[in-house]
Structure 1
């Protein structure tokens, strides 16, 4: 029995009938087979070793290599234990990432408190002031292996540090992640600088360079999703009684609130004129010389404009002082050559402009967004944890899509990266996420995307572990699209918008944007159409100059980019995005039989899917000899079960991962001088499954039948 026949019998055994199609086991192996190379290995897109020509720098507001050529970051996050693979696994992981076109890894939660194998700190001590020699050695070796393959590194300095008894931090046991406090408490800032010095001045024995002088270290981030202004409007600066921190966003304790009270009142007397101070005292209802209480969120709407603006400026200045102080310490004291980012704009239900006004003074501006981040719940009776998601497609909601939300943060003259984004599992429409965001990131001319997260755990568990909401390493739909879209992103297949719409805000508008209704999300800019980022690029031009009124913009049924390459068809329940460029074409969403692009048209059985056709050899599709077609629909875990309204799971499921294959037919036309076309079905490693099949020619095109249990097809054109 030949291999192809054995494979098809195996497929028949592993298919499970479900509503709308069949589920098929489909895994993405992370170790290379060695003797059977992947037919969709896109590591050729990377420049190895990373930083070979020198340090990445900024030119005309974008990231460029030492030779001046444009660098676009196509990255993933590595979280906690995934940052510290065993040496025998590190090379395989680095090679795996490179095969999928990943050219940067964001090291996230290096400072976690989740266990010995998941943190850079020594574990069995009462202090976080010493680094584990074993974990640091693993990190060094991994960074060197990534560098060899053209993968840059991004270090996050403060993400998950939980302080310990001997750190000399007040209320250490109650702070949790210590968000907000990390930005103003002198002792904690001292510890942050100490940690930065320990890590960044350390010499990696495998690269022979200290990290301060490592050209493969492209970005250093100061803090993760951390802002005093955000903590203020979220009610986390009030001051709670000492007790266990309740999750990531715990409020500060009373000790630190009292510290802020003292600093605020000292700042008022230093910065305000006698007249303004008197007006502020009257607005606060206190006598001359008495302390002025800080505002609580429930007081914002009725607060006097002077009182609200004054307190907002206090937090903005304190935040700015932290960012500038840490930047100066890294650059001038330690000599860090990498580019530095302050934090990320991540809460799109509130204005981010006060934080961005400070963060944009550093090298890079950054944003985070998730399409329908899980809402975590706890049953009051049983204590059982759960989650809910709307589980709806983004193509039906273009004006609040991930590209639109992220577009608010980019600033003129600064590189813009997105260091966290995902369609978290188990969203049934996740196949849309990576292709759409990659396309519009190019339209907006951003500098990088990091998907969150490749993995949380060490590779020793990857073959059997059940992935969580954010792990993409085992999701065949996301991994296939990661490789396919690496082609178009690195090459810049989608042209940058022809026009950039600038937005400017006066200092007063920056502050008052905090009091606008959440219904003004995500731009909090009255008069600015949310459709503009799907048509033109947009940037913030100024934080101290009011903008002229924005041009009226009627949102059409089909929102077309000003380059003509992207179209977003609005519909309450049948939205779709099409992409038509010389080297990549795509049909994404509710794909009807009538959709036809220059080279690609499709008739498929799946109600929702993403079809991405891209040239593998860099030539235009019309003249390419090697093409890859990525055809993705839904993915799930085996035995996964939804609740009745498909907003949560009653059973999470188990490995192996499964796909609902896209079935139907595509037609390829306009392939100049083509004399024949062969199609090969590929497995999760990109290896051929069975022999190549000749595609028939009819009706002026080549017909490719999609009937195999796979997410991608390799297409070769004979001329």
Structure 2
């Protein structure tokens, strides 16, 4: 995820949340106090699903076919969360409570993330801190005793020793934490090997086993969210004159020497097709017709004034107000007749007052504003200069409109443009007379497309070599037997997918529904926003749709980070939708991000930030239901399998224009396959078009999507309804009006909400019996959650730093449930720990028992027994 400075974000939020513990403001009408925390582990909990973990986490995990299996060969699905930074090292007195709470919520996996940032090290980063390592070992032991396995991440956010000496600029953030660099730079690879040996070779005194030998270490991840294929032109400019660039250039020369017989052959190949540029495409690139065909994003009196001198052919932009977002000010030439897989040369003259870097690209002229080419950075100067950029388009969407875009950024100052030109083709590149392969340059802005094709192939193969080396080190030198993954499959686009499916033991992905956006400064705790709209109301599957395309049909599929960001007013929908859809698509591991362990058990609990689950009732209370659905397989996998086969030759043909992303092929799925079949993708040898194993004509299309157990509809604009109906469970989430009645089989829900909010309801048998026969059930109805006194902005897209105080509060949704069964049920309201606090009256008769509750007077979840 985009959490490269999540530590700073966490600290920022802690500052904003750590106000004096004044008395909390009065509860809003219709809300109740319902604080949860990572320490609520009660032996008297009636909401616990700890029974899902049968024994210790001591059965070695391996891969058999497309799934994880234990030592008996039985399939295992994993459900859990992430612990990050200090949360991976809880104090020894609270670790048993945390492990017990996780077990009660249904976890059988925890991902250890961001350990390497600073917490695990001594001050010099030369050895592991003994006290911290002891805390880690103790926590792992407690998890193992509770039947919870571990996913150990190796490199996540360590800043390698000496990196600060390079004095990288604040932007771009390409190399933060050594990312990209540590996939090829020998000193950083050695440091990774040493750390892996120290950590995985450490003996846990509580289990008497090295981590490498302990079966509770289920999987190991080498390098989180990282790929050498993210090496950008800006990044190359930064390292070109450093030893980092020299090391890359040396490896580049060696790679070329293996591919080509002579230097002359290299230079001839690179200039193939560079036969000069074609006719001018821009009719008004010189501004002779004023502003015709030009548009100016951010133009506004008092912020950005635009003037055109047609006689001189100069366009002047006078920016006097900082932009609210980094892309605030842009210049576009619209109405372009672009072609797919075509090289274009962009030329222009420009100057600026002050320091300004602009970006140049070709892109879509309407939503979703797809970028067709690389976004090439250009540094302007106070003096007029001529600039030339060569770019290549990807496959262009049919029917789309196109534009040339110059992004000016958000800073104040003057920018002047003149003589803007766009032509098909490119002029031959003069590479001089290099004396050896080692003297061949790294890419520059005017490098031909076949140069870039070679360079991108070099990056891919170099990264694959890195993965093989790290896997060999872990397997042969450290003795790790657990399944190993390199990084997330989408890092590197479809070449990243190839890397993972060929070299890793399983495929892993990350995704977030409406991740926070920080328009100006990364992870600014005051300046951020979220979409704050429900996933259930979209018609294209949203994150679930995009994730399903990255599964390989013959490998386990893991989602090691997923979340709907707090303080979204719709986040209660996350677990019902994710768990049921993942079960239907037959995925293998789900991890929410993340689980904070802060403060002490007696500190008043409140929402801790964008992702934390431990202090969030909208997420924590729905976790047991998700665990039942996913781990018990209450939703059956789709019978049909639809596989997209992508010829490697097709991907290779796209390399001159960039690493092909999912839009290059993954859109080949029929949309309706998302809810009629298990989806999978393969890269196969050969050439030709993308092939689908089942034609779109053979599959019904469009909403509503209906499977035997899942229904997803959009009854009105901006509203959705997602329902799960199995014999042992009913789950429902969506936007429901007051008095709405929703029937799921023999269960009826009626909500008395006063406004159209997202409401999530779940009813599950804890004894694995059909609901009508079940003797132990859990019921939960939850909607919005907040901190006391939390303040939204007018658009309800941010609370800035106004997160409020403890305790956590929740919007109460008065409801009625009609329950089947012959025996009269006993219904008890539960406190946040799952302990009974009050009995709820039950009316009705056999087969139609009526449970009516006003949560504002009691709870958000309830135990049902008979």
Q: Give a deviation string over 1:442-461, Cα, whole Å, max 9, x none.
A: 01111111111011646579
Displacement of 1:260 in angstroms is: 2.1
Q: Deviations over 1:63-92 (max 9, x none)?
A: 111111111101110111011111111111
CA shift digits 1:253-286 (9 cap, x unpaired): 8542343233223312221355565211455613
Q: Among 622, 630, 634, which residue is 2:772 paired with?
A: 622
After TM superposition, list the pairs within 5 Å mapping 1:318-329 onto structure 2: 318-329=462-473
What secondary structure, in the 3-state scheme, does the structure 1 residue paired with 2:459 have? Answer: helix
- 2:49 equivalent in structure 1: 42
Aligned counterpart for 1:645 among listed residues 785, 795, 804: 795
Please give the alpha-carbon distance, in whole angstroms, between the structure 1 residues aligned to 2:848 and 2:206. 53
Assess, with a 3 A threshold, how the Cα gap between structure 1 residues 465 and 657 changes in structure 2: closer, same or farther. closer
| SS of aligned partner of 1:16 | coil
Counterpart of 1:312 in structure 2 is: 456
1:472 is paired with a residue whose SS is coil
What corresponds to 1:141 in structure 2? 138
- Matched with 1:548 is 691
Q: What corresponds to 1:691 in structure 2? A: 839
- The corresponding residue for 1:278 is 268
Q: Unaligned stretches of 5+ in structure 2?
A: 1-23, 170-174, 275-427
- C-alpha distance in 1 between matches for 2:863 and 2:479: 47
Separation in structure 2 between the aligned mates of residue 480 and residue 565 of structure 1, nearest angstrom? 22
**Aligned counterpart, 1:677:** 825
Distance 2:40 2:735 in 1: 35
Residues 159-206 of structure 1 deviation map (CA, whole Å, 9 limit, x = unaligned): 0101234x9x97388854111011110110001000000111111110
1:106-145 C-alpha deviation (Å, 9 max, x unpaired): 11011113xxxxx11013x3xx221101100110111011
Structure 1 runs of 4+ with >4 Å offset: 172-175, 273-277, 281-284, 291-296, 458-466, 511-524
Partner SS state of residue 79, structure 2: strand
C-alpha distance 326-377 of structure 1, shift in aligned 2 (>3 A): same
Alpha-carbon distance change, 356 to 548 in structure 1, aligned in 2, over 3 angstroms: closer
Describe the SS at the equivalent of 1:237.
helix
Larger helix proportion, structure 1 or 2? 1
Which residue of structure 2 lines up, in the alignment, with residue 602 of structure 1?
Answer: 749
Aligned-partner Cα distance in 2 for 1:445–1:148: 28
Q: TM-score, normalised by structure 1?
A: 0.86
Residues of 2 paired with 1:615 and 1:431: CA distance? 20
Write the distance in 2 (CA, Å) between the matches of 1:678 and 1:424. Answer: 36
Aligned residue number for residue 705 of structure 1: 852
- Look up the match of 2:631: 490
1:171 match? 166
Q: How does 1:446-595 map to 2 (within 5 A)?
A: 446-455=587-596, 457=598, 459=600, 463-464=604-605, 467-511=608-652, 524-545=665-686, 547-548=690-691, 551-552=695-696, 555-561=701-707, 564-570=708-714, 571-591=716-736, 593-595=740-742
Superposed CA deviations along residues 31-62 of structure 1, whole A, max 9, x for unmatched, are 3575x6100111110132102xx311112210
Alpha-carbon distance change, 454 to 597 in structure 1, aligned in 2, over 3 angstroms? same
How far apart, CA to CA, are the structure 2 residues paired with 1:264 and 1:490? 47
Q: Using the alignment, how far apart are the partners of 2:268 and 2:774 within structure 1?
A: 74
User: Relative to structure 1, is the Cα distance of residues 299 and 539 closer, same or farther in structure 2, using a 3 angstrom cutoff?
Assistant: farther
**1:649 aligned counterpart, secondary structure:** coil
- The offset of 1:542, in angstroms, is 2.8
Q: Deviations for 1:643-702, whole angstroms, at most 9, x for unmatched residues?
A: 111111152212211111222222223x3xx1312211111011111135334238x522
Deviation of the 1:603 alpha carbon:
1.9
Q: 1:86 aligns with which of 70, 75, 91?
A: 91
Mapped pair 1:443 → 2:584: yes
Return 77-86 or 685-694, whichever deviates more: 685-694
Matching residue of 1:63: 68
Question: Deviation at 1:239?
Answer: 3.1
List runs of 5+ in structure 1 lacking aligned partners: 1-12, 114-118, 242-251
- Number of corresponding residues: 662
Separation (CA, whole Å) in 2 of partners of 1:459 and 1:514? 53
The 1-side partners of 2:604 and 2:594 are apart by: 17
Q: Does 1:415 align with 2:415?
A: no
Change (3 A) 1:519 1:630: farther
Does the aligned pair in 2 maintain the 1:389–1:648 contact within 8 Å? Answer: yes
Q: Is the 8 A contact 2:606 2:807 kept in 1?
A: no
Measure how far apart 1:605 and its partner are. 2.6
Deviation per CA, 1:476-522: give whole Å up to 9, x if none: 11000112211121101000111111111122333566789999866
2-side partners of 1:261 and 1:460: how far apart? Answer: 54
Q: 1:668 to 1:292 in 2, by over 3 A?
A: farther
In structure 2, the residue matched to 1:715 is: 864
Between structure 1 and structure 2, the one with the greater Rg is 2
> Residue 377 of structure 1 contacts residue 385 of structure 1 at CA under 8 Å; is this kept in 2?
no
Cα distance in 2 for partners of 1:112, 1:100 equals 28
Q: For structure 1, which segment, 264-273 or 191-200, has the greater mean C-alpha deviation from structure 2 after superposition?
A: 264-273
For the structure 1 residues 289 and 264, does the alpha-carbon distance in structure 2 shift closer, same or farther, using more than 3 Å as the test? farther
2:380 corresponds in structure 1 to none
2:244 to 248, 256, 263: 256
In angstroms, what is the RMSD of aligned CA positions?
2.9
